[in-house]
A and B are shown apart, each in its own frame.
Chain A
Amino acid sequence: MRAFDFAAPRDIADALGLAGDTSAYVAGGTTLVDLMKLDVLAPEQLIDINRLPLHGIRLGPDGLRIGALERMEDIARHDAVAACYPLISQALLSSASPQLRNMASIGGNLLQRTRCGYFRDVATPCNKRAPGSGCPAQSGDNRGHAILGTSASCAATHASDVAVALVALDASVRLRGAAGNANARADGERTVPLADFYLRPGDTPHVENVLRPGELITEVIVPPLEWARRSVYVKVRDRQSYEFALASAAVAVDLRGGAVHDARVAVGGVGTVPWRLPAVEAALRAGQSHEAAAALAAEGARPLAGNAFKGTLVQRVILRALTELAGPR
C-alpha cells in the first residue's frame, strides 16, 4: 500500500475543502482499503468521512431518504424499509456478509468497483485501471462478466446488488461539491437520478459515473411507490451466500385482480451498470405472459465466450421473481 495522509473532518465544508484530485473519501473502507492493499488505488490523502452528519433513514410523503453513511445492515433491518421497499432490504441482505454489511455504507456501496479479476491484478492490463492498456477479459476469463452494455474496451459488471433495486425504483443521489460547480446550485448541490449517474464503459471504461473529483454523495432518495410493498430481489450465485450475483432481478408489481397491471424490473450481474428493463416492464403492462415478457430481458446482449449462459439465466431469474410475486402465469 502506498503512503497517504489521513484526516477525519467533522463537517462537510471541511471535507470538501480538503478533497482534490489525489484524495479519496473513506466510509466503511471495504472497497477502498481492499483496493489500496492491491495497489489498484493509491490516493495520496484519505479523508475519513464517518464524522460527517450524513446519517438518518426517513420515510415521508416524498419517499425514503437515506443518509450516505447509513450502513447496509441498518438500512436492510429498518422496519419501514423492509415493509415499504422489500426489494431494497432483500438486495442488501443478499450482499456480502454481515460483518461487511455492518461496515459498508450505502454511499460507498454505490461507488464500489468491479470484481473483474484483471482489474484487481495490477500485473495484468486493464482499460478500466490503466486506460489504453487493453481488456484481457474479452478473450480471457469472462464467465462472470456482463452481457449488456459492454464494449470492446470493457465488459466488467457493476457489482452492487442494492443499486439494482434502487434503479428499479427511480432513486436519485444527492451530491455536494465545492460551491460554484457548473450545473450545481450556488451551494454546490445537485440531485442526479441513479439511472443517469452510472456510465456505460464505451471507449472510456475508467469513467464510471458522473461524480466530480471531490464531490460527496450525501443522500439517496427513493420516490414513493405504494405497490413497491409487493417486491422481491432474487439473486443467483455460485454459492448460497457471501458471493456476488451471476444474475439477479429486482422486481415490483402492481397486482390488480390477480394480474400484473404495472411492474418495475431491473437486473444485476449481467450489465456494466445496474440494468433497468423498460421493454420487459412494457410487455407486462400490455398483459403479456411472464415468460414472454422475461424473454425480452437479454435483447441486445453481447455475450463473450464464457458467459452466454447469463442470457438464459437472467430470464429465469426474472421469471422466478414474477412467480413469487404474482403466481405462475
Chain B
Amino acid sequence: MDLSSQRQAVDGQVEVAFKVNGTAERLRVDPRTTLLDALRERLQLTGTKKGCDRGQCGACTVHVDGRRVLSCLTLVAMVEGREVTTIEGLAEDDQLHPVQRAFIECDGFQCGFCTPGQIMSAVAVLREGHATTDAQIREAMSGNICRCGAYPAIVEAVKQARS
C-alpha cells in the first residue's frame, strides 16, 4: 500500500519537499519540526516570528497555498507538496508590497515584533474580501495580537492598502 508520499527513514527523519516563496526546498527533518522552526532555523527565514508558539498570538502567520495559517501549529511534514509564502516573499525585487508600504506610511507598529504576522494577515484579509467596515477589519485582524497596542494604525494601514 502507498502509505505516504513521504519516506520515513530508519533514523526516524522524514523528507519533505515544498516551495517557499517560489523556491523549491527539500528538507530532512525530525517529524516534530514545526513549519515555523523549519523556516527560521533550517531556511534562515527569520522574518516569521515566534511569539507564543501555541496558536494564541498570530506572530507566526504565513500563507500555505494562498491561505493564512499559523506556522507554529503546522508540522512541516504536513506541507509536503505545498507552497508557502512568508513575509520575505511579499516584496518584488526592491518594490515593497502595497501592504508593507501602507504599514510604514500609517505607522502600523511600534516594536515591530508582531508586524510580519500582521502584514501576512492583512494581505490575506484583502484577498478574502470579507472586511469592509472598521469593525469587520478589526474582527478579520483579531487573530494577530499586538502587545504595543498599535491597533488603530493597523486598521488604517489595511484601509490604505485597500484603496
Contact = CB atoms under 8 A, between A and B. Distances in A.
B154 interface: no
Contacts of A37: 53-54
B58 A1 contact: no
Nearest to A29: B73
B124 interface: yes
B80 A3 contact: no
Nearest first, the 7 closest Cβ-Cβ pairs linking A and B are A97-B143, A241-B142, A6-B31, A8-B4, A102-B67, A33-B73, A99-B143
A14 B3 contact: yes
Contact of A8 (B80, B140, B142, B144): B80
A3 B30 contact: yes
B34 A33 contact: yes
Interface of B: 1-6, 8, 12, 14, 30-32, 34, 53-55, 58, 61, 67-70, 73-75, 77-78, 80, 121, 124-125, 128, 130, 138-140, 142-145
A242 B34 CA distance: 22
Interface residues of A, number: 35
A4 B32 contact: yes
Interface string A226-243: 000000000000001110
A264 B46 CA distance: 50
B54 A7 contact: no
A9 B138 CA distance: 39
A36 B31 CA distance: 12
Interface in A86-105: 96-100, 102-103
Interface in A15-60: 17-18, 26, 28-30, 33-34, 36-37, 46, 48, 50-51
A14 B1 contact: yes
A26 B78 contact: yes
| Interface SS of chain A | mixed
Nearest to A27: B78
Best-surrounded residue of B30, B125, B142 (most CB of chain A within 10 A): B142
A103 B73 contact: yes
B5 to A, nearest CB: 6
Given A3-B30, A6-B77, A48-B77, A240 B3 contact: no
A51 B80 CA distance: 11
A242 B73 contact: no
Contacts of A196: none
A99 B138 CA distance: 14
Contact of A14 (B2, B34, B138, B145): B2
A329 interface: no
Contact of A29 (B6, B75, B124): B75
A10 interface: yes
B31 A46 contact: yes
B31 A5 contact: yes
A30 B143 CA distance: 14
